Structure formats: structure tokens, C-alpha cells
Amino acid sequence: ELKVEQNPLFLSMQEGKNYTIYCNYSTTSDRLYWYRQDPGKSLESLFVLLSNGAVKQEGRLMASLDTKARLSTLHITAAVHDLSATYFCAVARSGTYKYIFGTGTRLKVLA
Amino acid sequence: EPEVTQTPSHQVTQMGQEVILRCVPISNHLYFYWYRQILGQKVEFLVSFYNNEISEKSEIFDDQFSVERPDGSNFTLKIRSTKLEDSAMYFCASSARQGSNEKLFFGSGTQLSVL
């Protein structure tokens, strides 16, 4: 069974600081996604990572994928309050389109 | 920008009643999904649907659940006899294809409360 774990579950950080969220998954996958969810809202797609070593950046967020370690990271640079949200990674096993979501990381950026 | 639309945004029902949650996927999308999220917990896959049939389903998607695309635009999730534990936010999603670069677009969700 494919399992996806994120850490930390909760993250409170000061504006201007850097931090990394980790996503580990248990079996072979050919794609990994990062989503953002604001309270009471839907899921917004941030990144899709398809291959080992893939790196994508959008604004203050950068995501990377290491398929050998079965690890993805979401790095936050110089955090701002607007980044406060819950971030999920999601993985689909090769040959299937059933996404398995991680537990989520609730990020709070303090002014 | 095109979006996935879900109705109603909130649904309150009595235990044992049937509910139908409705979704209008993005118009040129061919693949459809239902997920749910129990308050404060992770998002769980329920079912995927393509070409008028279920592609995959999870163990949550038992005989009480069914999906349908009745008219070429709507995509519905029916729960025949709701249970308290069915209370959750239900998200519909769609994608244009199922290639490696596909992205799921999620609707804003229906909050189902079973009393």
C-alpha cells in the first residue's frame, strides 16, 4: 500500500525566514504533486514533479524530487504572511491515477 | 480561467437519507474524480471515472456510493444511505487527460453534514 508522509505537520515561522517541508512516499511513483489549501477552500495545484532531480520554482516556493530516496521537498524562502496555508503533497503510483495525499503541513507565517 | 463547479456548497442531511452531490467539470476534460476530506484530516481518494465507467475506486467507495455522468456535463456522487462518518468535505476534480503531465483541477467542495 502506498503511504505518503509529510513533516512537519505544523510549522510556525517568522516572516523572512526559510524553511523546508518534507514529503516521503513508500513505493515507486512517476509523479508527485504539491497543493496548497487555504482554510475552507479547495486545493490549488502548485507543482508537478515528474523525474528524478526535477526542481520547480514559483515565487518564494521551490519544490524538488529525489525518486531514489522517495523524497520531495518544498522549500520556502523569505516567508511572507500570504504563504500561510496547508500544503499537501500527493503521489500516484506508476500506472495509476489514484492520488494518495500526504497528511498535510499547516504553515503559519507570523508577522 | 475555467473551473470545476460544485453544488451545493453545504448539505445537511439525516442519517439514512440519500444525498446527491453535483459537479460540473471543466468542459473539455475527460477524467473525473471524487475525493473527500474529513475535518482536519488528509484528502482521501474515492473514485476516478472515464468514458462512462469507473476506472479506480478506493475501499471507502463501497456499495453505498455511486457515480454518474447523466448528461455529458454533470458528474454526480450519490450516497444511498448516509452514515455519520460520511460527514466530510467532498471535492470533485477533473483533468484533461491522464498523461504524466496532467494536473487535477479541484472544485471548491461540498461540505456534507450527516446528523
Q: What's chain B's average pLDDT? A: 92
Q: Which CATH architecture has domain A4-110?
A: Sandwich (2.60)
Q: Would you state the cell numbers that stand for residue A65, as one nine-digit string?
A: 524530487
Domain B19-96 fold? Immunoglobulin-like (2.60.40)
SS3 per residue for B50-91 = ECCEEEEECCCCCCCEEEECCCCCCEEEEECCCCHHHCEEEE
CB proximity list for A101: less than 8 A, separation 6 or greater: A4, A35, A88, A89, A90, B35, B42, B43, B44, B45
Mean pLDDT over B10-27 rounds to: 96
Which residues 55-114 in chain B show a CB within 8 A of chain A? Answer: 55-56, 58, 91, 95, 98, 100-109
Residue that is written with C-alpha cell 499537501 in the block: A88
The stretch B11-20 carries a mean pLDDT of 97
Q: What is the distance in angstroms between the Cα of B106 and the nearest Cα belonging to chain A?
A: 6
Residues of chain B positioned with their CB less than 8 A from the CB of A103: 42
Mutate to test the interface with A, among B39, B42, B49, B105 (most CBs of A within 10 A): B42
The tens digit of pLDDT for each residue in B39-66 reads: 878 899 999 999 899 999 999 999 999 9
Q: Name B57's Cβ contacts closer than 8 Å, sequence gap at least 6.
A: B46, B47, B48
Percent above pLDDT 70 for chain B: 97
Using a CB-CB distance cutoff of 8 angstroms, which residues of chain A are in contact with residue B95? 97
Q: What is the DSSP letter of A83?
A: G
- Closest-CA distance of chain B to residue A85, Å: 13
* Per-residue model confidence (pLDDT) at position B99: 63
Question: 526535477: which residue's cell?
Answer: A54
| pLDDT over threshold 90, residue B74 | yes
Q: How large is the average pLDDT for residues B75-94? A: 96
Q: Residue-wise pLDDT tens for chain A (111 aa)?
A: 788 999 999 999 999 999 999 999 998 777 899 999 998 888 999 999 988 888 999 999 999 999 899 999 999 999 999 999 999 999 987 777 788 999 999 999 998
B8: preceding bond cis by omega (within 30 degrees): yes
Q: In which band, very low, low, confident or very high, does the pLDDT at B98 lie, cut at 50, 70 and 90?
A: low
